[in-house]
Amino acid sequence: MSSKTIQSTGEWTQELLIEAGRLYHMKYGEVPTMAHFYPNNARKSSRLDGEALVQRFEEDACWPSSATIIKHFKSFGAYQRACGFEPTRSSADASGKIQRLLELQKQMGA
């Protein structure tokens, strides 16, 4: 069964998603992020070449959607760890921001 068939029939498993992440890394030399698998969001990214990511996503036509990854792993950081990568800054930023917010709240006595 090809990746295209798996994607179109909704038969993604955690194992297949992990394999897709590793293959993406091997092909492009980048740890996949939400922007890589959510092309509409990639267009808005100031840190990435959004149009290139959209073109890559559409030409390959085999990568899972970010919604599928979140459904299976609950976060992109968890997905990246499952693939054997360190979470990227954008994935780690959310938990760091929450921690800083809690510390600020504590300092202000709130």
- Give 41-93 pLDDT, tens digit per residue: 666 655 557 677 778 888 888 889 888 999 999 988 899 999 999 887 665 45
The per-residue pLDDT for 109 is: 76
Say if pTM beats, i.e. exceeds, 0.85: no
At position 100, the amino acid (one-letter code) is R
Number of Cα atoms under 13 Å in the Cβ half of residue 41: 9
User: Which has the closest alpha carbon to 18: 71, 60, 73?
Assistant: 73
Rounded Cα distance, 33 and 66, in Å: 8
Rounded Cα distance, 110 and 106, in Å: 6
Q: Which residue has the higher pLDDT, 95 or 56?
A: 56
pLDDT (tens digit per residue) in 6-50: 454 558 999 999 999 999 999 989 899 888 888 776 666 555 576
